[in-house]
Amino acid sequence: MSKEELIKGLNEDLAAEWGTVIRYTYQAGHSFGVMGIELREMFAEETEDELGHATFLTDYIIDLGGEPTTIPKSFDKPDSLKEMLNLDIKMEEDDVASYMKHAELAEELGFVELKFKLEEMAADEAGHARGLRRIVKGL
Ligand SMILES: [Fe+2]
Ligand SMILES: [Fe+2]
């Protein structure tokens, strides 16, 4: 596994983070009623986490000598609230898997800070997925 492959993987993660920032902003705009008030708060909190992740990845890719992407990963736009939140759960879970995979690569290459930070970010995404599952359960 080379540094170039790691940079490529981190750029996929970065594209996912930009996509999530846009997705949550878009979904917050489509959240109405009393439930919408709570959803908007949750999306705002999570967007802050995702922006922190995107900032870390941007800095780290540059420090590795790469070019960080500014192109977001695209996402579906389901009509129903439940489908929308289920999509979010799936995408958060995908992010967990990707961060764990790249944490292993980082460890192989000896990037200790990156390994632990990616694991921490995986834990953040797992927490987001868990919070979303609790909301869906109550629908
Ligand atoms: Fe994130
Ligand atoms: Fe997340």
Closest listed ligand to the CA of 131: 2
Q: How far apart are CA 87 and CA 75, in angstroms?
A: 9
Rounded to the nearest angstrom, the distance between the alpha carbon of 42 and the centre of ligand 1 is 14
Q: How far apart are CA 9 and CA 58, in angstroms?
A: 12
pLDDT of 1 strictly over 90: no
Q: CB 130: neighbour CB atoms within 10 A?
A: 11
Is residue 31 within 8 A of residue 39, CB to CB? The reply is yes
pLDDT tens digits, residue range 84-119?
A: 999 999 999 999 999 999 999 999 999 999 999 999
Q: How far apart are CA 73 and CA 130, in angstroms?
A: 22
Specify the pTM: 0.96
Token code pair at residue 17: 């983070």
Rounded to the nearest angstrom, the distance between the alpha carbon of 122 and the centre of ligand 2 is 8
